[in-house]
Structures are given as structure tokens and as C-alpha cells.
Structure 1
Amino acid sequence: MTLLVLTAVGDDREGLVSALSRAVEAHGGNWLDSQLARLAGKFAGIVLVDVPEENVRAFTDAAAGLREQIGWKVDSTPAGDGGEAGRAVHVHLVGLDRSGMVRRVSAALAEQHVSIHRFRSWTHDAPQGGGLLFEAEAVVTLPHGVEEETVRRALEPIADELVVDLELLEHDAS
């Protein structure tokens, strides 16, 4: 069996997941994991599938053909080894929306060799008409030898400068 990571994006419409799952099953594959979401009229996601080695080429051709059939662009890449294990930490930040927030925080994490496992961000109105708030949640993996406090010290000056509330908590995998 061959593990493949699929990336898919297209205009949101009914039947996208169904069409991709049919292609996986038709080629003897198994849908293992996925994260799919609708955003600004588009539907996008990443999917981990396991396909018999002898069917990989036919499956990737079928998945690519979904663009012409239903308008969903699907690319496949062999899965990686999962990276180095470490300790998971939950990061949450909220503050007035401004340009550069994600860049500054992600750069500070990268400088500490912290890997982002999962990231989600969104904006919403502040209470009492106080403008637009930016909020983000991430699960990050600290490499062996890097402590949570080291990461906190790297992020706190950015949080102070951008005037955001920042929380780092041990991630509960349940």
C-alpha cells in the first residue's frame, strides 16, 4: 500500500467529497484522515489515503480528472514520514486585527524549530463595535529539548507589540 496526501480545492458545490471518495474506493484505496472546509465560496482540503501500489497511477489520474468532471483540482503527493515527534502545545491568540500577525507569530515559532501541526484563524466583530478581532488557534509540536517557557518568551514580545492576548497550554490529545 502507498500512502498519498491529496490536496483539493474548487468552487463549493454538492458532491465533491462523494466524487473523491468514489475514486479512492474504485482504486482499492482507503480514506484514512482528512480536513476539509468551506471558505469564501471555495471548498478545500487535505486527505490522507492508502492506495495499493499497483493502482497509484490509475488513482492519481482519476483524481486529476475530477477537475474536468466537477471542477475540483486534486493533486497527490506521497506521504512523508510524519516528522520528528515532540510535545504538543496549544497556542491561542486574540487581538485587534492587523496586517502581519500570522507572519510574526509563525516566524517566531520557526526560529524555535517549532512545527505547526494544525492552524486555524478567523476574524469577528469586537464587542460594542470595537473593530475587528483576529483570533487564531494552533497545535504546535515542540522539538525535544525546547521547553514551553522558551517558546513563550519568544512570543511574548510580539504579543505585547501587537497587543494580543496569548495563551500556551499543554495540548490534550483527547
Structure 2
Amino acid sequence: MTTYVLTAIGNDRPGLVAALASAVDEHGGNWVDSQLALLAGKFAGIVQVDLPDDGVEDFLVALAALEDEVGLQVEASAAEPAAAADGAPSRALRLHLLGQDRTGMVREVTTALRSQGATIDGLRSWTREAPEGGGMLFEAEAELRLPGDRDEADVRDALETIAQELMVDLELDADD
């Protein structure tokens, strides 16, 4: 078996996911994991699939045909074998941020996380109108991984400094 990560994008319309799933299934593949979204009228997705080694070439040809068939551009990247764990423990954390929308928020928060050695395993963000005409709010949720040799309190301090500068509510909790 060979593992591929697919990235897909196209103008939203019914049947895009079905066409991609059919291509995977028709070539003996297994749909392992995915994250799919509609953003600004575009369908965008990332999918992990496992394929039998003897079906990979035909599968890649089928993916290229999806652009003409349904308007879905798909790029396939062979996954690297998982790196051997170095034995160092890590802790999972969950981050939630809410505040007035402004440019640079994601950059500042992710820079603070990087300075503490945190890895972002998942990030979802969105904007919405504040109640009673208070402008736009920016909200984000992230799943983080902190190396075992890093102190959660230091991460919290770094984020609280950013929260004060950005005037946002920021929560950091252990992801049980």
C-alpha cells in the first residue's frame, strides 16, 4: 500500500466529493482521513488515501481527468514514511481565541506558539458579526502539541501577552 495526500479545489457544485470518492474506490483505495470546506464559493479539501501499489499510476491519471469531468483540480503527493518517534512525550492542548477582527492576529499567535516549540495539528478560524453592530469578530480554534520538555505555563504566558496586545479572549486547555 502507498499513502497519498490529496489536495483538491474547485468551484462549489454538487458531486465534487462523490467524484473524488469514486476515483479512490474504483482504484482499490481507502479514504483514510479528510478535511473538506467551502470557502468563498470554492470547495477545498485535503484527503489521505491508501492505494494498492499496482493501482497508483491509473489512479493518478483518473485524478487528472477530474478537472475536465467535474472542474476539480486535484494534486497528489506521496506521503513520507512516518518518522520514528524520538521517544519524547508530548502534550495535547486546545486553544480558543475570540476578539475584534484585525490583520496580523494569526501571525502573532502562531509566532508566539512557534517560540515555545508548539506544533499546530489543526486550525480552524472564521469571522462573524459582533452583536449589536460591534464590527467583526475573529474566532479561532487550534489543536496544539507541546514537546514534553516545554512548560505549558510558558506557552500560556506567551499567549496571554499576545492576548493583551490584541485585546482578545484566549483560552488554553489540556486536550483530554
TM-score range, shorter chain: over 0.9
Question: What is residue 131 of structure 2 aligned with on the other side?
Answer: 127
Q: Quick one: structure 1 residues 113 and 61, their matched pair in 2 at CA, closer, same or farther if it must change by over 3 Å?
A: farther
When the two structures are superposed, what TM-score results if normalisation uses the length of structure 1?
0.93
Equivalent residues, number = 172
3-state SS of paired residue (2:56): helix
Question: What is residue 40 of structure 1 aligned with on the other side?
Answer: 40
* Structure 1: segments with no counterpart, 5+ residues: none
Question: What is residue 56 of structure 2 aligned with on the other side?
Answer: 56
Question: What is residue 7 of structure 2 aligned with on the other side?
Answer: 7
CA distance in 2, matches of 1:59, 1:22: 11
CA distance in 2, matches of 1:132, 1:53: 49
Per-residue CA distance 1:20-52 (angstroms, 9 max, x = gap): 111111111111111111111111111110001
| Superposed counterparts of 1:99-138, under 5 Å | 99-138=103-142
When the two structures are superposed, what TM-score results if normalisation uses the length of structure 2?
0.92
Deviation of 1:86 after TM superposition, in Å, equals: 2.2
Find runs of 4+ consecutive structure 1 residues off by over 6 angstroms: none
2:163 to 159, 163, 172: 159
Q: How many percent identity over aligned positions?
A: 55
CA distance in 2, matches of 1:112, 1:149: 10
* Structure 2: segments with no counterpart, 5+ residues: none
Q: Quick one: structure 1 residues 3 and 71, their matched pair in 2 at CA, closer, same or farther if it must change by over 3 Å?
A: same
- Paired residue type of 1:103: R
